[in-house]
């Protein structure tokens, strides 16, 4: 479904509207800053953007002026006119625009399109003219600005962006806009953004006492509070149960290693920029690990393997460290310390499809559990220009393994989209994009094929013919990292976690101090039954205690007084506002235990 949506979007009227608005915005910016240098302006999901090199920083007031001018341009009912040009003609048209000249050079060589995306063949050069603005562009656009609803778009914000995403290039100003067919659709989208702010995992993480960051500890290094620790334990318990059923063996590996290991694996130099700098001891350099795979290769290679032993599945929730740039750190979503739901599957080529699709099936089980209804599998492939630099230099194996992944996905009727030049350095991968309950997109899981690194570690097994054979390795992380998964779940559930995942499942509230002993006894009884229950025996009044539990989004609040003590019951208040009086304690405990055991989403 998602694949079809993406394919249809590029052919849709909405895509044309957004692309056209990017040009209209660029025209308004150039009128405001005649000396502006403009770069690219593509439509994206929910809107569009354009990157500019400007003489000063834009302000929110500028966006209001630009919006007003854009509506005036739309009202002019201007046609979008396409014209095919030669490279020399294009250079003359954009002689004062250095970024366009660079794109024209690449287009002439057939390397990238006008948005900087890799190309497999040389494209036709074309320009689009509308009103006073001319841009290097393949389109498509609306026929006329009259097709655009002037009340259904809004300029949203200004951000920094390096030219072509390279920090060594000039920093530009990126202006984002959103656009829809109708004003109602625009308003619905803006309301969704407000809801997203309310669900921001950084805000909820603090309010719900899940995690913190501390300047003395360092940026991107989260500290998990006790309530966050409970969530991590529950996620790890879930993963261990799933992986035990699927035949995984659990291993543990150290947090650092000698540099020779990462030289052998290829992470040095392919991945060096994302690694923390080495530390030196007794003349030997050590690195903290950015991933677990080289250690797992060592474990696989620690003894002779037979084809009868395969597949070998090694799993670990190992802590890894990656040097994310300061400007890219973002709450739990981009961190420098992460606990990864990692595993490596070593298999023969004949076993590949079954093992690879077993991982995909595990994804889908998790999606069902967490109520993730919208997702897309993205096959990330290599690009020839990166061979020997960004990617292992073996075009034959790249093409072979990419086709193996395509074939497996097709044979099991799993939709996917392709993304060129996004592979891991050692092979193609399936990355999983998911959408939360309010439609916010997250990059979560990965399923990677490694055709190169096992040979570097001299890994082999004796096949049925008695010959040594190098196994394929599948790198997979269905639950991503604890950090990213908890961040996603905070926003997906808005902190209203299902009972099994809630840090506190029951808060027992005594009406007066005379009921404290009964409340404490109930908490002890529930904990003995495997329920995370606490009795609030503090000095606050009953209503304040209930309010505190509500702020922490505890699923159940059990209020107890004289009546409940006498009858062995509780007065139950659920997080959703519903109530039930005179509920027998044993009946409540059995109900909660059943929901926890089933990992039910229901209260």
Peptide bond into 255 cis (omega under 30): no
579: domain CATH number?
Answer: 3.40.50.800
* CA–CA dist 577, 570 (Å, integer): 16
- pTM of the entire structure? 0.84
Interval 495-552: pLDDT, tens = 999 999 999 999 999 999 999 999 999 999 999 999 999 999 999 999 999 999 999 9
Assess whether pLDDT exceeds 50 at residue 4: no
Assess whether pLDDT exceeds 50 at residue 397: yes
Assess whether pLDDT exceeds 70 at residue 202: yes
Burial status of residue 414 (CB atoms within 10 A of its CB: 0-12, 13-18, 19 or more): middle
pLDDT (mean) for 263-289: 90
Which one has a higher pLDDT value, 18 or 3?
18
**Lowest model confidence (mean pLDDT) among 53-67, 99-113, 208-222:** 99-113
Residue 157 resides in a domain:
yes
The predicted pLDDT at position 3 comes to 42
* CA–CA dist 523, 527 (Å, integer): 6
Q: Do both 67 and 166 map to the same domain? A: yes
Peptide bond into 59 cis (omega under 30): no
Q: Which structure tokens are listed for 280?
A: 């030196």
* CA–CA dist 597, 407 (Å, integer): 37
**Residue 412 has what DSSP assignment?**
T
Interval 325-365: pLDDT, tens = 888 899 999 999 999 999 999 999 999 999 999 999 999 99
Strand partners, 375: 434
Residue 376 resides in a domain:
no
**Lowest model confidence (mean pLDDT) among 57-61, 105-109, 219-223:** 105-109
Q: Do both 13 and 162 map to the same domain? A: yes
166 pLDDT band, cuts 50/70/90, is confident
Assess whether pLDDT exceeds 60 at residue 77: yes
CA distances for 310 relative to 461, 463, 474, angstroms: 8, 10, 13
The answer to whether residues 175 and 155 touch, using CB atoms and an 8 Å cutoff, is yes
Interval 170-190: pLDDT, tens = 999 999 999 999 999 999 999
- Work out the mean pLDDT of the chain and round it to a whole number: 93
Q: Which structure tokens are listed for 188?
A: 């619905």
* Structural domains of the chain, count: 3
12: domain CATH number?
Answer: 3.30.980.10
* CA–CA dist 207, 294 (Å, integer): 39
pLDDT (mean) for 213-224: 96
pLDDT (mean) for 126-150: 96
Q: Do both 275 and 296 map to the same domain? A: yes
Residue 386 resides in a domain:
no
The predicted pLDDT at position 311 comes to 97
Q: Do both 233 and 349 map to the same domain? A: yes
Q: Do both 24 and 165 map to the same domain? A: yes
Assess whether pLDDT exceeds 70 at residue 116: no
pLDDT (mean) for 406-432: 90
Q: Do both 551 and 471 map to the same domain? A: no
The predicted pLDDT at position 444 comes to 87
- Please report, rounded to a whole number, the percentage of residues in the chain having pLDDT higher than 70: 96
Q: Do both 547 and 480 map to the same domain? A: no
Q: Do both 545 and 592 map to the same domain? A: yes
37 pLDDT band, cuts 50/70/90, is very high
Torsion of CA 101, 106, 108, 113, to 10 degrees: -100
- Please report, rounded to a whole number, the percentage of residues in the chain having pLDDT higher than 90: 84
Q: Do both 28 and 102 map to the same domain? A: yes
- Residue by residue, DSSP assigns 528-579 as HTT--EEE--SSS-HHHHHHHHHHTT-SEEEEE-HHHHHHTEEEEEETTS-E
Closest listed residue to residue 316, CA positions, set 486, 479, 484 = 479
Q: Do both 270 and 287 map to the same domain? A: yes
The predicted pLDDT at position 117 comes to 63
The predicted pLDDT at position 327 comes to 82
Assess whether pLDDT exceeds 50 at residue 559: yes
The predicted pLDDT at position 111 comes to 64
Exposure b/e, 561-593, CB count within 10 A at least 16 = b: beebbeeebbbbbebeeeeeeebebeebbeebe
pLDDT (mean) for 6-35: 90
Assess whether pLDDT exceeds 80 at residue 388: no
Q: What domain range is 568 assigned to?
A: 499-598
288 pLDDT band, cuts 50/70/90, is very high
Residue 233 resides in a domain:
yes
Closest listed residue to residue 392, CA positions, set 452, 467, 304 = 452
113 pLDDT band, cuts 50/70/90, is low
């Amino acid at each position: 479904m998602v694949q079809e949506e993406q394919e249809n979007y590029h052919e849709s009227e909405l895509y044309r509207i957004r692309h056209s608005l990017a040009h209209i915005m660029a025209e308004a910016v150039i009128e405001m800053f005649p000396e502006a240098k403009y770069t690219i302006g593509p439509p994206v999901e929910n809107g569009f953007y354009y990157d500019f090199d400007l003489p000063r920083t834009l302000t929110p007031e500028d966006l209001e002026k630009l919006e007003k001018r854009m509506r005036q341009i739309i009202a002019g009912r201007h046609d979008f006119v396409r014209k095919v040009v030669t490279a020399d003609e294009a250079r003359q048209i954009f002689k004062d625009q250095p970024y366009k000249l660079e794109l024209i050079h690449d287009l002439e060589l057939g390397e990238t399109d006008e948005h900087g995306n890799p190309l497999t063949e040389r494209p036709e050069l074309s320009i689009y003219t509308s009103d006073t603005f001319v841009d290097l562009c393949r389109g498509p656009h609306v026929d006329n600005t009259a097709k655009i609803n002037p009340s259904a778009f809004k300029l949203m914000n200004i951000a920094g962006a390096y030219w072509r995403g390279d920090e060594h290039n000039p920093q530009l100003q990126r202006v984002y806009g959103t656009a829809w067919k109708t004003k109602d659709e625009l308003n619905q989208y803006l309301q969704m953004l407000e809801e997203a702010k309310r669900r921001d995992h950084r805000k909820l993480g603090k309010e719900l006492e899940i995690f913190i960051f501390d300047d003395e500890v360092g940026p991107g290094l989260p500290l998990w509070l006790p309530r966050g620790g409970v969530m991590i334990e529950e996620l790890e318990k879930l993963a261990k149960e799933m992986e035990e059923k699927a035949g995984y063996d659990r291993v543990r590996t150290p947090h650092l290693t000698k540099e020779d290991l990462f030289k052998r694996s290829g992470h040095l130099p392919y991945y060096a920029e994302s690694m923390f700098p080495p530390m030196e001891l007794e003349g030997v350099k050590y690195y903290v690990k950015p991933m677990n795979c080289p250690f797992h290769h060592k474990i696989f290679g620690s003894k002779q393997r037979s084809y009868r032993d395969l597949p070998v599945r090694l799993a670990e929730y190992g802590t890894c460290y990656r040097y994310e740039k300061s400007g890219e750190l973002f709450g739990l979503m981009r961190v420098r310390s992460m606990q990864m739901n990692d595993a490596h599957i070593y298999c023969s080529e004949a076993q590949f499809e079954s093992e690879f699709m077993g991982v995909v099936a595990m994804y889908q089980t998790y999606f069902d559990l967490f109520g993730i209804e919208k997702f897309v599998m993205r096959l990330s492939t290599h690009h020839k220009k990166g061979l020997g630099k960004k990617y292992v230099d073996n075009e034959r194996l790249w093409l072979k393994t990419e086709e193996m992944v395509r074939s497996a996905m097709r044979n099991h009727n799993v939709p996917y989209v392709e993304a060129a030049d996004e592979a891991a350095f050692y092979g193609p991968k399936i990355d999983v994009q998911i959408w939360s309950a309010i439609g916010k997109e997250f990059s979560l899981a990965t399923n990677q094929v490694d055709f190169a690194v096992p040979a570097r570690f001299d890994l082999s097994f004796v096949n049925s013919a008695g010959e040594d054979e190098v196994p394929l390795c599948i790198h997979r992380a269905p639950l991503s990292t604890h950090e990213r998964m908890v961040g996603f779940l905070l926003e997906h559930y808005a902190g209203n976690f299902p009972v099994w995942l809630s840090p506190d499942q029951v808060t027992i509230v005594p009406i007066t101090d005379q009921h404290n002993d009964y409340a404490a006894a109930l908490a002890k009884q529930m904990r003995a039954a495997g329920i995370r229950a606490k009795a609030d025996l503090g000095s606050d009044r009953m209503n304040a205690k209930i309010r505190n539990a509500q702020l922490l989004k505890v699923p159940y609040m059990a209020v107890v007084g004289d009546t409940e003590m006498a009858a062995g019951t509780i007065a139950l208040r659920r997080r959703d506002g519903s109530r039930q009086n005179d509920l027998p304690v044993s009946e409540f405990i059995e109900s909660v235990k059943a929901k926890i055991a089933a990992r039910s989403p229901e209260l």
